Amino acid sequence: MVVSDKVKQTVSEEIARHPLDPLSVEEIDRAVAIVNEEADLGDRLLFETITLSEPEKDLVLNYQSDDFVPREAFIVVLNPENGEVHELLVSLDNNQLIESEHIPGVQPSFIFGDHETNFLQFDQKIKSDPRVIEALNKRGITNSELVMIDPWPISNFGNEEELGKRLAIGRCWLRTEATDNGYAKPIEGLSIIIDLNKSEVFEIQDFGVVPIPPEDGNYAARYQESFRTDLKPIEITQPEGPSFTVTGNEVKWQKWQLRVGYTPREGLVIHNVTYEDQGKIRPILYRGALSEMVVPYGDPTSDHYKKQVFDSGEVGIGKCANSLELGCDCLGEIYYFDVSLYDITGKAHTQKNVVCMHEEDFGVLWKHTDARIGETEVRRSRRLVISFFTTVGNYEYGFFWYFYQDGSIEYEVKLTGIVNSSAVPPGVKPKNGTLVAPQVVAHNHQHYFNVRLDMMVDGLQNSVYEVDTVRDPISDENPHGNAFSVKKTLLTQENDFPRKIDPFAARYWTVANHSSQNYMGESVSYKIAPGENVLPFHHDDAVIMKRATFMTGHMWATEYDRDEMFAAGNYPNQHPGGDGLPKWMSGNRNLEDKDVVIWYTFGHNHIPRLEDWPVMPVVYMGFSIKPSGFFDRNPALDVPPSDNQCACEGECNC
């Protein structure tokens, strides 16, 4: 169901605003006006963050439609003239500034240009610098119009001359023509250090001339000589419409209820997830979103060791979101959510079709054939999909939440786009990467994602267990050595974390509620089950291990604090490390029967393949959140048979 702008406008006017609804365009513009009028922080402020300040949890959970809940905006601004970062809180009810605090010693995420320059003008300004022109001429490049500069975070390696400055590394490529794949021809050895506050070149770092790779790497349809001719159409139709209903940002589907949210840093946020069980609405998850992600590279040459991008905290994946297209990004009967974003001046705008929601058939839900009576019962599985895609430089990431009829949830990331490319001289075979084309190397790297899960399994008082499958010792009870059982370990304090996956123990973790029992007398719980995962191959004292400590373990847990939102801290850009999870957990808070937040980290080890070039087929990775004793029996027994339910005798394939 693609909802027209007219329908969306009509619906939004009729629905009372919920305390968790993202800021509207009007609210963003109003909040910015209040800051500009009342904060007295300068005339050229750059707005890095403008988002809803989410109310206290108890206000949200007890909210009734006629309740008053304060509506506030949280804002981060930068004064580029003095480099100061300020956090502000604005009341949208009273149209006034509530708080303003200077945050010393930090850098906000990337903001390009100033009030007079957009990014394209900023790019041209950098390329017109005499030092850049000289470095390009040295490489035989006389037309800078075809030079492509991607600004990358500079990391923090303790360089004194960089302290206190808001910097980026301009990494360079050369297009053959205006619309081809620039990443096919890296300009190796040239790093342009950019002072973002001054919108000018700070320093040129030249590690030596390397010949430009000779081949194009074009993948767009206009460059393909022919296409496959044996594909037949697949039509996905729902003649009666989808099974979900949407009221504002609230979604109801089958027995699920949830709210769709969005922030410029995290992107898609899922709020207040509940499941109806025999007429009772049971809470599972208060808030779920990507907390942080980082992509550390594994090549030590020139300045490639500085490649360790926090795409959420240093860039803002919500700001880089795509407007999705029917039949391409999403297929079927689609409902789109628009989002309100803003430019560096704080001017708000609506970005269309950012979040996509639809239903998918997902094979068999459950099945059994009773051959003795010649009867087969089978149910088709259906899942609700809520997703968005974002482009961060060369890479694309799709973030997907799946909700299933049996009470299960999955979180999945889809990785695609173009591998980061560098160049080597002819005849050189790199040790720390793969030659994907002549003289083009894609370096070994890893992608790490940390998802913050504010759990509320049948309520807010939860506890965390680690669950391993163990081999029972040989004994009188196990004389044949075939027995194995489950070992559950209660993790009672923050110092018990982080935990690591152990596939040989089939390890998973459960979040249990001791005050709520299933009909077998056990505490109800949901389990966090790993998917693909890995640990860093960086040495323990490497800079990235201090800056992204959340990579060093897979399962983390803290006691809830509304100000603890991001695994690497609020300001990872150019931060030396030690913030976020390791800082918060130093207090070693008790976690038994508490309001527990789970931070799950999963990583993809990317050793590039030839098949990843020139554009990478999607890689899928994630984890699951499954009921484990939460229900008294299979909650999907009441899923009706399909209209074309099999009626057969003997062997039956449905």
pLDDT given at position 649: 46
Cα distance between residue 584 and residue 566, in whole Å: 11
* Mean pLDDT score of the chain: 94
What pLDDT, in 10s, does the model give residues 138-158?
999 999 999 999 999 999 999
Under the banding of pLDDT at 50, 70 and 90, the label for residue 124 is: confident
* Residue pLDDT, tens place only, 501-510: 999 999 999 9
In angstroms, rounded to a whole number, what is the distance separating the alpha carbons of residues 408 and 382? 12
Inform me whether the pLDDT recorded for 8 exceeds 50.
no
Structure-block tokens of residue 244: 């979900």
The Cα–Cα gap between 57 and 455 comes to: 12
pLDDT at position 377 is 96
- For the segment 190-228, what is each residue's pLDDT rounded down to a tens digit? 999 999 999 899 999 999 999 999 999 999 999 999 999
Q: What pLDDT is stored for residue 368 in this prediction?
A: 97
Active-site annotation, residues: 311, 395
Is residue 10 predicted with pLDDT exceeding 60? no
Q: CA distances (Å), 116 to each of 44, 69, 193, 613, in order?
A: 10, 38, 21, 38
Q: Given the structure tokens 């009870």, which residue do they identify?
A: 477
Tokens coding 158: 């303790």
Which pLDDT score is estimated for 305?
97
Interhelix angle 130-138/119-127, nearest 10 degrees = 70
Backbone angles phi, psi at 598, to 5 degrees: -100, 135
Of 9-18, 43-52, 106-115, 513-522, the poorest mean pLDDT is in 9-18
Q: pLDDT tens digit string along 532-551?
A: 999 999 999 999 999 999 99
pLDDT of residue 646 exceeding 90: no
How many Å separate Cα 591 from the centre of its chain? 26
Query: How far apart, in whole angstroms, are the C-alpha atoms of residue 110 and residue 544?
Result: 19
Q: How confident is the model at residue 7 (pLDDT cuts 50, 70, 90)?
A: very low
Question: In this predicted structure, what is the pLDDT of residue 229?
Answer: 95
Q: Determine whether 188 is exposed, middle or buried from the number of CB atoms within 10 Å of its CB (0-12, 13-18, 19+).
A: buried
Q: Which two tokens stand for residue 188?
A: 């190796």
Residues 57-71 pLDDT 10s: 999 999 998 899 999
The band of 331, judged by pLDDT with boundaries at 50, 70 and 90, is: confident
114: pLDDT confidence band, cut at 50, 70 and 90?
low
Instruction: Give the pLDDT confidence of 81-94 residue by residue, as tens digits.
Output: 999 999 999 999 99
* Total residue length of the chain: 654
pLDDT attached to residue 193: 96
* Per-residue pLDDT, 644: 64
pLDDT at 328 over 90: no
Nearest to 542 by CA among 592, 507, 577: 577
Distance set, CA 595 to CA 275, 433, 463 (Å): 19, 44, 8
Task: Please state which of the ranges 207-211, 281-285, 537-541, 639-643 shows the lowest mean pLDDT.
Answer: 639-643
Q: Which two tokens stand for residue 34?
A: 């209040």
Region 429-437: what's the mean pLDDT? 97
Residues 549-579 pLDDT 10s: 999 999 999 999 999 999 999 999 999 999 9
pLDDT tens string 462-503:
999 999 999 999 999 999 999 999 999 999 999 999 999 999
The CA distance from 48 to 84, in Å, is 12
Predicted confidence at residue 14, as pLDDT, reads 40
Least confident of 63-72, 115-124, 152-161, 389-398: 115-124
CA 249 to CA 268: how far, in whole Å? 12
What is the Cα–Cα distance from 394 to 614, expressed in whole angstroms? 11
Q: Supply the DSSP string of 46-71, one letter for each residue.
A: EEEEEEEEPPPHHHHHT--TT-----
Domains along the sequence of the chain with CATH = 5-102 (3.10.450.40), 119-223 (3.10.450.40), 245-358+383-627 (2.70.98.20)
Burial class of residue 216 (count of CB atoms within 10 Å of its CB; 0-12, 13-18, 19+)? middle
E strand segments, 157-264: 167-174, 186-195, 200-206, 245-247, 250-253, 256-263
Task: Supply 17's token pair.
Answer: 């605003």
Band of pLDDT at residue 650, cut at 50, 70 and 90:
very low
